[in-house]
Structure 1
Amino acid sequence: MTPDTTAARTPEELSSALERTGYLPDAGVATAAFLAYTMGRPLFCEGEPGTGKTSLAAALAEGLGLPLIRLQCHEGIDAAQALYEWDFARQLLHLRALEAGSDGGVDADAAEQSIYTRRFLLARPLLRALLDAPCVLLVDEIDRADDEFEAFLLQLLDENAVTIPELGVIRADVPPIAVLTSNRTREVHDALKRRCLYHWLEHPDLAREVAILRSRLPGIGEDLAGQVATAVRRMRGMELLKPPGVAESLDWGRALHALDCSVLDADTATRSLGAVLKYREDADRVHAAGIDTLLAG
């Protein structure tokens, strides 16, 4: 069973729903998200940091009126951290309460059955996504996890179910809309990619980045938004350690607006560069290239 598609019956309708949240997708992103939504397939998003992969999942949830459940991957993450744990402290208190309230002793089998119920189950993001579906499940930075976790995730996405030995099978009646992101710090296995629809996210073109700045920062003027977007695009061509993404463009725009700046000049750009560049080497490279060159045109 796939999600109800009446909320967005075409890629254009989904694009409009995303735009209402402040996320301005291009046609490729909107189509990929629409197909994942209607087909019930996970969407695997790769791209440079700052291209809007994580924001896409948040916008999908908001635009479709669904809860967002996020699993942040990291080195060493395992199924227990992502799926569920038993609340041992509460189970122990429950057993002590049973003992205290029983004059003739506690039946061991009955006691064991009483502590392995959903009351004592701590649902982590993957199990919550199955229990709360329909929802949007964001598996962020899957490239940071290891091969074993990938295999586990592949099985869960295939079956939309998990077996808890003490409780049995828990299955989602409606598959969560799963968005997996990767910054490509390592290659994710083909088996997981084959299970997903795939989309590579680029940095927005100049016109769309200006539109994003105007949409997310209503107080910023069109001229200043154009200067910020143009300067950031030029920085992305400088082979920096961390090229600025859309988030950094927005941070710079907010900083300039806080400085009551309506036109970006070399002095203001120099003083506020820390809002957009986060490495000293990157700032040195931009200064070496010339702030005036960055702002030219």
Structure 2
Amino acid sequence: MDNEDRKLPQDVDGVAELLRGADYVSDRSLATVVHLALRLGRPLFLEGEAGVGKTEIAKVLSRALGRRLIRLQCYEGLDLSSAVYEWNYPRQMVEIRLAEAAGQQDREALTADIFSERFLIERPLLQALKPDPAGPPVLLIDELDRADEPFEAFLLEVLSDFQITIPELGSIKAPEPPIVIITSNRTREIHDALKRRCLYHWVGYPDSQRELEILRVKAPDVSAELAREVVAFVQGLRQHDLFKLPGIAETIDWAEALIQLNKVALDPAAVDDTLGVLLKYQDDIAKIEGSEAARLLEDVKREVALAER
């Protein structure tokens, strides 16, 4: 076991403690798969709805382990020049003009020079393969489902061998594999060939107990009563047939918004006035506001009162 291995948590409890130390409240199954990804050096593929904390895992690991975070935000049309590398064409042209002015005639030597690493612009994937004094970086490939399928095919080489082939330079291989976190909101299916190279975990919505703990960590200024009511209300909302259910991020945002309104407990007016913090589609807001929100709030008050007895 090398020095880098000894810096990593040695068991599942150690990972849970590491995450909690960086204000991330995980369940046992998530801590387990993170532990395995770290110990086995395998990419971790996290799938789930938006706002459940997938991206935050990479950020937390970066902070907790003292590693550099390299983020590749995926989008439709993402290509190699944005994700991997491109040549610095303006600098190359200047170099060619200078060589011509100096009377340099050796084209092969000039070509070799302008296609050297000093003219290479490194993008996130290539940056993640380079050695770092702090240890292998954390590479976050965020929302892979937004990228086109051909980009997935390119990732196979990166995730299999942790190397990238540049025609003019050859293969560049990482001396130590980066910690790779891949996220997907499942707007489309990711190909099996890529998933086979990763450990997989579905990040779901937390139960009420864990969500309450998350809220206490992320929004400590929220009163105990308001925190219980907020969590109960959001948990109730997730039982409805909505276009986009609120995630943990929305729970935290809502609690903090209510604090700004000087609320210590929920009331029907406050709920209706702030539904736009929780719900991001007008059809969902129209379905909940008014009588349905009032009914849900009554259930919440009853549930919290029973829990306090």
Which residue in 2 is equivalent to 1:168? 170
Equivalent residues in 2 for 1:41-190, closer than 5 Å = 41-100=42-101, 102=102, 104-132=103-131, 134-190=136-192
State which of 265, 268, 278 in structure 2 corresponds to 1:263: 265
Tell me the secondary structure at the aligned position of residue 272 of structure 1. Answer: helix
CA 1:5–1:199 in 2, change beyond 3 Å: closer, same or farther? farther
Tell me the secondary structure at the aligned position of residue 138 of structure 1. Answer: strand
Q: How many residues align?
A: 295
Measure the CA separation in 2 of the matches of 1:90 and 1:234: 58
Large movers: runs of 4+ above 6 Å: none
Tell me the secondary structure at the aligned position of residue 256 of structure 1. Answer: helix
Equivalent residues in 2 for 1:19-38, closer than 5 Å = 19-38=20-39
% of aligned pairs identical?
46
What is the alpha-carbon root mean square deviation over aligned residues? 1.7
Opposite residue 175 of structure 2, the aligned amino acid is D
Shift of 1:94: 2.4
Q: Does the 8 Å CA contact 2:244/2:281 hold for their aligned counterparts?
A: yes
Which residue in 2 is equivalent to 1:217? 219
Map Cα deviations across residues 24-43 of structure 1 (whole Å, 9 max, x no partner).
11111111011001100111
State which of 207, 214, 229 in structure 1 corresponds to 2:209: 207
TM-score, with structure 2 as normaliser: 0.90
Q: Does the 8 Å CA contact 2:131/2:176 hold for their aligned counterparts?
A: no
Map Cα deviations across residues 62-81 of structure 1 (whole Å, 9 max, x no partner).
11111111111122222332
Q: Does the 8 Å CA contact 2:143/2:183 hold for their aligned counterparts?
A: yes
Tell me the secondary structure at the aligned position of residue 33 of structure 1. Answer: helix
Q: Does the 8 Å CA contact 2:272/2:290 hold for their aligned counterparts?
A: no
Q: Which runs of 5+ in 2 are unaligned?
A: 303-309
Q: Does the 8 Å CA contact 1:5/1:37 hold for their aligned counterparts?
A: no
Q: Which runs of 5+ in 1 are unaligned?
A: none
Shift of 1:289: 5.2
Map Cα deviations across residues 200-236 of structure 1 (whole Å, 9 max, x no partner).
1111111111111111112111111111111111111
Tell me the secondary structure at the aligned position of residue 290 of structure 1. Answer: helix
Worse-superposed segment, 128-137 or 207-216: 128-137
CA 1:71–1:192 in 2, change beyond 3 Å: closer, same or farther? same
Measure the CA separation in 1 of the matches of 2:258 and 2:131: 41
